[in-house]
Structure 1
Amino acid sequence: MAVGRLMFMAGLAGLGATAMAPVAHAAGPVTRAKVALTGPDGRQLGDAKLRDTPSGLEVTVRGRGLPPGPHGLHLHMVGRCLAPDFASAGGHWNPTGHAHGRDNPRGAHAGDLPNLSIDADGRGRLRFVVPGARLIGSGGLLDEDGGALVIHAGPDDYRTDPSGNSGGRIACGVVLPG
């Protein structure tokens, strides 16, 4: 894909969105990204911001309208979110080839993220850094087919490969430069 070109295709309402994320955009290398998280019905369930830092990829997630309790949160390797199951986002982003889970002796990989805790009013917020991760460059999230952020129905157990036994995908958002 040529530098400065962005391919974006909006999905049908209620079916999610699909996008191919660029390696860079007209203003130069991508160092920030944003995500609009939607449910299978197209309703917005949160958002996220990603930012390259010297330590790695800083991620801030806000959820709203979600079921209370802990939810697995993962970066997925394909920038495509097609309802109803969001399987189009592919597997977890894993540029280092590790197993899943911070408690797995063969883990963790870059797509492993902390659980998002949602309170009784359906809201939650989380900020963390994925050490050594980047939006672009060698092994970066925004490669030719982009990346996605997914919220799962249940908590990640931080050890079961490949997905932490976190259940179905209840929200998904394509990672877009910005």
Structure 2
Amino acid sequence: MRLIHTALFAAVAAVGLTACNKPAETTTPEPTPATDTAPAADAAAAANDAPPAMTSEAHANHTAMAELAPTQGNNVKGNVTFSVVDGKVHVKGAISGLKPNSEHGFHIHEKGDCSAPNGDSAGGHFNPSKEDHGNVATTPHHGGDIPNIKADAQGNAVVDADVSTNVNIGEGNDFDIIGRGLIVHADPDDYKTQPTGNAGARLACAVIKAAP
């Protein structure tokens, strides 16, 4: 009987020793997938460096200017600015060298070319809609029709008038006044004679340019 107990004790001890000697199981944690933040970071940096998006309004320059220079044998000169006021093209400026207390035709012409001594290189009136000549306050009229300018006793004229409603500044289409000519005539426009208003010779010429 003692032998059975001894053998049983030995077997139990052997099992215990085996369990104690067995290395502990270790679990290796699954690697966490790395989050690729580089593209997002690059995109954010690019967005910070990129210029702000420009709207069509920003692309279009709605201001223009013209510096009038005298044609051969004349002394008329001046500076005017075209801008959009209440949705309409408006011209403002000052002209000098005119005869005292005189009145003169003032028109946008089709070509921005003042190379001819008499200003004829500017062509005829700017008329993109192919209308008859007339007063800008009524219809029909040319796109380049502007009210007459009037000189004071010193031969200076202040320009402050609306231009035809069917023209624009800087939109790049057939009705855009940028790149066109601007003429001061020797005589007043009668607003009826076709196609020039019988405004006579050209005293000064300018090329209408986009304002900087």
**TM-score, normalised relative to structure 2:** 0.64
Runs of 4+ that moved beyond 4 A? 41-44
Alpha-carbon displacement from aligned partner over 1:143-165 (angstroms, at most 9, x marks no partner): xxx20110000000011111100
The residue that corresponds to 1:96 in the other structure is: 129
Aligned mates of 1:35, 1:106 — CA distance in 2: 26
> What secondary structure is seen at the aligned counterpart in 2 of 1:115?
strand
Is 1:116 the counterpart of 2:149? The answer is yes
- Cα distance, 1:44 vs. partner? 6.2
Number of equivalent positions: 148
Among 192, 195, 205, the residue aligned to 1:159 = 192
**What fraction of aligned residue pairs are identical, expressed as a percent?**
34
The residue that corresponds to 1:20 in the other structure is: none
- In terms of fraction of residues, the more helix-rich structure is 2
The residue that corresponds to 2:177 in the other structure is: 141
For residues 133 and 106 of structure 1, do their structure 2 counterparts lie closer, same or farther at Cα, with a shift above 3 Å needed? closer
> Cα RMSD (Å) of the superposition?
2.1
AA paired with 2:167? A
Q: Which runs of 5+ in 2 are unaligned?
A: 1-57
- Cα distance, 1:107 vs. partner? 2.4
AA paired with 1:171? A
Contact 1:77/1:93 (<8 A) preserved: yes
Aligned mates of 1:52, 1:120 — CA distance in 2: 31
Contact 2:76/2:95 (<8 A) preserved: no
Among 84, 87, 95, the residue aligned to 2:120 = 87
Among 60, 63, 76, the residue aligned to 2:92 = 60
When Rg is computed on C-alpha atoms for both structures, the one with the higher figure is 2
Q: Higher RCO, 1 or 2 (CA under 8 Å, sep at least 6)?
A: 1
- Cα distance, 1:92 vs. partner? 0.7
Contact 1:55/1:132 (<8 A) preserved: no
Aligned mates of 1:54, 1:63 — CA distance in 2: 25
Q: Which runs of 5+ in 1 are unaligned?
A: 1-26
